Amino acid sequence: MQVKVQGEPSLYKVAAADVFSFPEKCFHIAEHINLPQPSAKSIQAAKAAGLPPMIIFHIQLPTYSVSRLCVCVCVCVQHARA
């Protein structure tokens, strides 16, 4: 019989989630949004763990026709262990 053990706390926490609409593909969403500033403790903890202090998930969903409109979903997570 296997016993499930409690996992460690998550490495990152969600800092923001947004949906944007652009007239064409957006290849670098971070150039178009204001990013939250990670705390100094978060940056130090991320460096100590060898991880980036922030990760941005950029998902593009075309609303066809392919060459015209694209909806972008942006999820920004910050390192949570401090």
pTM reported for the whole predicted model: 0.58
Provide the token pair at 26. 């957006």
| pLDDT per residue as tens, the chain (82 positions) | 788 888 888 888 887 788 877 777 777 777 877 877 888 888 888 888 888 888 888 777 776 665 555 566 656 566 665 5
Measured distance CA(23)–CA(4) in Å, rounded: 48
CB atoms < 10 A from the CB of 37, how many? 12
Domain ranges of the chain: 10-33+54-82
Question: Which residue type occupies 4?
Answer: K
Measured distance CA(82)–CA(69) in Å, rounded: 40
For tokens 């500033």, what's the residue? 37
